[in-house]
Structure 1
Amino acid sequence: MPLNLCNYDQQARAAVKAFWQTRADARQKQQASGKADQGERAGVTGGKNMDGFANLVIDLVRANGLAHAQICQQCAVLTLPGYFRPTKLWDLLVMDRGRLIAAIEFKSHLGPSFGNNFNNRAEKAIGTSHDLATAYREGAFGVQERPFVGWLMVVEDAPASRAPVKDKSPHFPVLADFAGASYLQRYDTLCQKLAREQLYSSAAVIATPRTALADGAYTELSSMTGLRSFVATLAGHIAAEAARA
């Protein structure tokens, strides 16, 4: 039976439009109330920016054999035990008859500041996955197959995110794949390494300009870190779990 990718490109374009619209609506609402946050925080604190991508994941779960799986999206049911810390709150969990099927993080990064924020997101992504993997190894989720662990990043496509970046490393040279790379290229490299080192089942990054509010336009940076790869890997995992069940 072939995998069902749920018209992912069409859904992704709708999710991108909703992403920008939700941010714009939240910013306007806070400005109207006189309590506007500083910079991009006004859009972030509105919440639900990535709901369209979460809906795509839900459709993939339903369409590939786990129609009755429990989809966890509320804070009260999004916590998993950790190894280096007591618990971690995820963005979306898929549970089926007491088994953890998938744990997914949805993140975004908008300008004008791309500098230290990239390092912060990289450190959190690495730490989160390592903590979950170790907890799984130590039996925190019981005896079960390894869950799908996903990381999906949406980055603003802008001159600042595409411009080469210089780094200062006085003692040793920066690794070649990061030297002079833009922030978008760095996210692509990060996602490739997260998957290659098996920290995540799949890690994806897409770039989208603010003008995508009108048409949902987005760009994949490479086949390894593209949305199609993420969707296909997740659908395959869900189908395997359904067959096992």
Structure 2
Amino acid sequence: MRRAYEHGLLGPLRPWLGYVLLLEEAAGSTRKGRTRSGTLPVDPVFVDTSYLDRYAILCKRLMSAGLYDATCLVTSSREPEAPIRQPDPEIGFAAFVGAIAAHIEQVGVLRPGLN
């Protein structure tokens, strides 16, 4: 999408891109574990972390690299009564929705005929 926009294929309005990740909150995803080294070296930030930690790092990196305007990481359990959790407010649902609202407001200001 970004490349298409940069090449003028999507019109004048830059697309807003978001990434939402729902992770099952279970022992396998929240337990810190050993990171295996395969063909490529392991980024030191991932050593001794859980999958949940790694996904949070991924979401933040996707935003800081400018690949997405906002990311959202939430967890849910198989237990029906367990709440949906937002492990990090910076990449939680409220921040994601706030980023969408800010973009809509900005587009409305830039293109007054849209509101």
The TM-score with structure 2 as length reference comes to: 0.86
In structure 1, C-alpha distance between the alignment counterparts of 2:9 and 2:33, rounded to whole Å: 41
Q: Does 1:221 align with 2:87?
A: yes
Instruction: State the Cα deviation string for residues 23-72 of structure 1 (Å, max 9, x = none).
Output: xxxxxxxxxxxxxxxxxxxxxxxxxxxxxxxxxxxxxxxxxxxxxxxxxx
In structure 1, C-alpha distance between the alignment counterparts of 2:38 and 2:59, rounded to whole Å: 26
Read off the aligned partner of 1:147 and give its amino acid letter. Answer: P
Runs of 4+ in 1 over 4 A off after TM superposition: 170-173
Q: Does 1:140 align with 2:9?
A: yes
Percent identity over the alignment is 28
Selected match of 2:46 from 174, 178, 192: 178
1:227 CA drift (Å):
1.1
Give the corresponding residue for 1:238.
Answer: 104
Read off the aligned partner of 1:199 and give its amino acid letter. Answer: L
For 2:20, what is the secondary structure of its paired residue? strand
RMSD: 1.7
Read off the aligned partner of 1:152 and give its amino acid letter. Answer: V
Instruction: State the Cα deviation string for residues 96-130 of structure 1 (Å, max 9, x = none).
Output: xxxxxxxxxxxxxxxxxxxxxxxxxxxxxxxxxxx
1:223 CA drift (Å):
2.4
In structure 1, C-alpha distance between the alignment counterparts of 2:90 and 2:7, rounded to whole Å: 30
In structure 1, C-alpha distance between the alignment counterparts of 2:48 and 2:3, rounded to whole Å: 34
Which structure 1 residue ranges, 5 or more long, are not aligned? 1-131
Matches within 5 A, 1:159-174: 159-169=27-37, 173-174=41-42
Give the corresponding residue for 1:92.
Answer: none
Q: Does 1:198 align with 2:66?
A: yes
1:136 CA drift (Å):
1.1
1:168 CA drift (Å):
2.5
In structure 1, C-alpha distance between the alignment counterparts of 2:68 and 2:38, rounded to whole Å: 32
Higher strand share: 1
Give the corresponding residue for 2:77.
Answer: 209
In structure 2, C-alpha distance between the alignment counterparts of 1:176 and 1:185, rounded to whole Å: 13
Read off the aligned partner of 1:214 and give its amino acid letter. Answer: E
1:243 CA drift (Å):
2.1
Instruction: State the Cα deviation string for residues 115-164 of structure 1 (Å, max 9, x = none).
Output: xxxxxxxxxxxxxxxxx21111111102x132210011111111111012
